[in-house]
């Protein structure tokens, strides 16, 4: 199992490096159209062929991977911060604060994640620039994805608040923010890190779902979601196998996250 | 009894708040309140004004929501703007379709997950453990919408796409739970006394793991309902998921509020049903 985990790390590192250097080794820009060669099969010039608009698929996969792999951690960071604010403070203060925060958490958790995401995304403008659509999509993931983490963090903070060493710190005269910063937050670090890492694959998958439904990142900017929309016109595994490359990459990356995270389940 | 009443009250409060939240979101959405019929040159100014008035009533969210709740208590759920049909009729038509789809998906997903988890736990071989982890990770990594597209391509039943979304989550949880249950000291004693694996599973493991598995049952309903949206939208199945998709894109306020309330009620009922069943099981064991 350790070797599989190490392989997952190596694969993730390779994909991240590959996507970050998209500008260096992509044969064309993601929006460049080779109008004389739409829907062309793989060739020396276009390693993964072109899409229906004649855009180089390999370049789009590289740039799309960069978008998904940079923005999903940013959204995960935002959701973890919100969860820390809502769950951590509620758990630390207890009483009515905790009840109100947990009622809000219940409200968010009572609706299926994709339904909530779909409803809220559809409420926002759909005809925006590609850059704005990236910001809107991932901001939304971060803003709506905090509830489950908040519950875990609330329970963790409550446990720490009632622990012996915090009681001793209180008895020594430590109060309020200093107690939180010096004793509670450092001990919450493993939980926070686990929640952050767990959120990344969830957000990658959610963006892909939204993208396929046409509510993700706007064209011509690619993301895994928008690249997977091509599968709508998929007709054959034999003749169009290269169209499956974005899916394969998504599965490999998210599986790698799952394998790496299986060790952190204790904190999840 | 008092606890049950308190639970029901909390459930009602969450449902009302969920409906209000979705109504507010729709109201704040850009383009809300516009009606393309207002551009129809065949309509005279009175008709256009009447349309504008009808939309204006929805602009005040508290008033709209209060009227909606009062009407809903009488069984009137309003009319869909995009489909021009009573919401009650739409829900009555589509709810059984989604219930069948989600029900079949849940059944297939749970069956596969529990059988594979029991198999993987009983064999206790590192290779099986690795294989189980890889299978779980693989299916967790495929978006529901991609599964739906692949199932359309393969002309396979859509309920299996939902089963594949539910399967990895139930499988990984069940496997961990069973592994933990098998390491309990009283099981070692049972093994030492010569009890067979099936007897141990039925008499010692399942009663311990059962209550916690019930909690996952509630969550899996929510997962399956979420997966039903892309599956129905992409497979062309006229169910609640597809209706939610159309309502969201058409910013159909009455339909969206009703769907939010319905989905929230189903999710909460599933979660609390499983919680009560688990509590009942624990009480009987005690």
- What residues of chain A lie within 8 A of the CB of B248, using their CB? 118-119, 121-123
Question: A255, B126: Cβ pair inside 8 Å?
Answer: no
Residues A104-132 have a mean pLDDT of 81
Q: Which of A110, A228, A252 is facing B267, going by the closest CB pair? A: A110
Contact B119, B111 (CB under 8 A): no
| DSSP secondary structure, B38-90, as one string | GG-TTS-HHHHHHHHHHHHHHHSHHHHHHHHHHHHHTT---B-TTT-SBHHHH
Specify the pLDDT at position B38: 66
| Closest chain B residue by Cα to residue A214 | B249
- Per residue in A16-62, pLDDT (tens digit) is 999 999 889 899 999 999 988 888 888 998 989 999 899 999 999 99
With CB atoms and an 8 Å threshold, state whether B29 touches A124.
yes
Chain B CB contacts of A124 below 8 Å: 29-30
Interface pTM, i.e. ipTM: 0.85
Question: Is B145 at the interface with chain A, CB within 8 A?
Answer: yes
Q: Which of A125, A209, A259 sits opposite B145 (nearest CB)?
A: A209
B144 beta partners: none
pLDDT of residue B53: 73
Residues of A in contact with B15 (CB under 8 A): 110
CA distance B227 to chain A (A): 7
**CA closest to A201 among chain B residues:** B141
pLDDT tens for chain B, 286 residues: list them. Answer: 777 788 788 888 888 888 888 777 777 766 666 666 666 777 778 887 777 776 666 677 777 778 878 888 888 888 888 888 999 999 999 999 999 999 999 999 999 999 988 888 888 777 877 787 788 888 889 999 999 988 888 888 999 999 999 999 999 889 888 888 888 888 878 888 888 878 888 888 888 788 788 888 888 998 999 999 999 999 999 999 999 888 887 778 788 888 888 888 888 888 888 877 777 766 766 6
Rounded to whole angstroms, the Cα distance separating B233 from B250 reads 14
Interaxial angle between packed helices B87-123 and B158-182, expressed in degrees from 0 to 180 and rounded to the nearest 10: 40
Task: Compute and round to an integer the Cα radius of gyration of chain A.
Answer: 22
The residue-averaged pLDDT of A210-216 equals 86
Answer whether residue A100 shows pLDDT above 80.
yes
Whether the pLDDT of residue A6 is over 50: the answer is: yes
Note the Cα B117 to chain centre separation in Å: 23
Q: Which residue of chain A comes nearest to B148, CA vs CA?
A: A232
Asked if residues A27 and A57 have their Cβ atoms less than 8 Å apart, the reply is: no
pTM for this entry: 0.85
Please give, rounded to a whole number of angstroms, the shortest distance from the CA of B20 to a CA of chain A: 11
Rounded mean pLDDT, A225-235: 84
Surface-to-core class of residue B63, CB atoms within 10 Å of its CB (0-12 exposed, 13-18 middle, 19+ buried): exposed
Decide if pLDDT at A75 tops 90.
Answer: yes
- What is residue A268's predicted lDDT score, i.e. its pLDDT? 47
Contact A56, A50 (CB under 8 A): yes
Q: Which residue's entry shows tokens 């961990």?
A: B176
Q: How far apart are CA B286 and CA B281, in angstroms?
A: 9
Which of left, alpha, beta for B155 (phi over 0: left; psi -120 to 50: alpha)? left
Averaged over A232-237, what is the pLDDT? 73
For residue A119, is pLDDT > 50? yes
**Confidence (pLDDT) at B245:** 87
Identify all chain B residues contacting A268, using CB atoms and an 8 Å cutoff. none
Per-residue CA distances from A162 to A87, A169, A195, B18, B82 (Å): 16, 11, 22, 33, 54
A228 contacts in B (CB within 8 Å)? 143, 145-146, 149
* Contact yes or no for B264 and A110 at CB 8 A: yes
Q: Which residue has the higher pLDDT, B214 or A74?
A: A74
Residues making up chain B, counted from first to last: 286
Indicate yes or no: CB of A213 within 8 angstroms of CB of B226.
no
Question: What pLDDT does residue B121 have?
Answer: 83
The pLDDT assigned to A103 comes to: 83
Distance from CA of B116 to the nearest CA of A (A): 18
Q: So what's the pLDDT on residue A67?
A: 92
DSSP 8-state assignment for residue A43: -
**pLDDT band (50, 70, 90) for residue A267:** very low
Between B28, B143, B234, which is nearest A123 by CB?
B28
């Amino acid at each position: 199992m350790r070797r599989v985990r190490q392989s997952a790390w190596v694969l993730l590192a390779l994909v991240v490096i590959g996507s970050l250097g998209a500008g260096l080794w992509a044969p064309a820009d993601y929006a460049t159209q080779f109008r004389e060669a739409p829907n062309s099969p793989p060739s020396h010039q276009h390693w993964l062929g072109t899409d229906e608009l004649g855009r180089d698929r390999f370049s789009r996969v590289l740039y799309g991977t960069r978008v998904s792999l940079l923005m999903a951690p940013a959204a995960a960071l935002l959701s973890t911060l919100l969860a820390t604010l809502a769950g951590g403070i509620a758990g630390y203060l207890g009483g009515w604060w905790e009840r109100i925060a947990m009622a809000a958490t219940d409200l968010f958790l009572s609706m299926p994640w994709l339904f909530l995401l779909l409803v809220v995304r559809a409420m926002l403008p759909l005809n925006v620039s590609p850059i704005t659509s990236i910001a809107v999509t991932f901001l939304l993931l971060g803003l709506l994805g905090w509830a489950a983490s908040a519950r875990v963090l609330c329970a963790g903070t409550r446990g720490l608040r009632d622990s012996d060493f915090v009681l001793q710190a209180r008895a020594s005269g430590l109060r309020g923010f200093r107690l939180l910063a010096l004793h509670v937050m450092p001990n919450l670090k493993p939980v926070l890190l686990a929640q952050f890492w767990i959120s990344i694959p969830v957000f990658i998958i959610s963006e892909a779902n939204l993208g396929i439904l046409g509510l993700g990142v706007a064209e011509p900017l690619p993301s895994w979601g928008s690249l997977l929309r091509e599968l709508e016109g998929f007709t054959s595994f034999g003749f169009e196998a290269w169209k499956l490359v974005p899916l394969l990459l998504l599965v490999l990356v998210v599986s790698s996250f799952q394998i790496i995270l299986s060790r952190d389940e204790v904190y999840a | 009894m008092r606890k049950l009443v308190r639970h029901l009250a909390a459930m009602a409060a969450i449902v009302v708040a969920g409906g209000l939240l979705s109504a507010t979101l729709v109201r704040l959405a850009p383009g809300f309140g516009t009606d393309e019929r207002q551009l129809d040159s065949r309509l005279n100014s009175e008709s256009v004004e009447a349309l504008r008035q009808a939309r204006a009533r929805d602009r005040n969210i508290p008033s709209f929501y209060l009227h909606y709740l009062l009407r809903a208590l009488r069984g009137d759920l309003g009319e869909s703007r995009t489909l021009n049909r009573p919401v009650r009729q739409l829900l009555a038509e589509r709810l059984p379709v989604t219930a069948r789809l989600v029900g079949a998906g849940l059944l297939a997903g749970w069956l596969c997950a529990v059988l594979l988890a029991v198999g993987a736990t009983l064999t206790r071989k590192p290779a099986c453990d690795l294989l189980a982890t890889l299978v779980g990770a693989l299916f967790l990594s495929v978006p529901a919408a991609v599964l739906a597209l692949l199932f359309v391509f393969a002309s396979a039943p859509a309920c299996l796409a939902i089963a594949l979304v539910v399967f990895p989550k139930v499988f990984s949880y069940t496997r961990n739970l069973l592994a933990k249950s098998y390491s309990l000291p009283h099981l070692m004693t049972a093994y030492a006394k010569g009890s067979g694996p099936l007897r141990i599973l039925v008499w010692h493991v399942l009663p311990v793991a059962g209550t916690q598995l019930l909690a996952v049952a509630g969550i899996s309903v929510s997962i399956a309902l979420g997966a039903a949206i892309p599956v129905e939208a992409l497979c062309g199945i006229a169910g609640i998921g597809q209706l939610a998709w159309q309502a969201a894109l058409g910013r159909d306020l009455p339909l969206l509020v009703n769907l939010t309330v319905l989905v929230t009620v189903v999710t909460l009922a599933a979660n609390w049903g499983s919680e009560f069943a688990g509590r009942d099981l624990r009480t009987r064991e005690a």
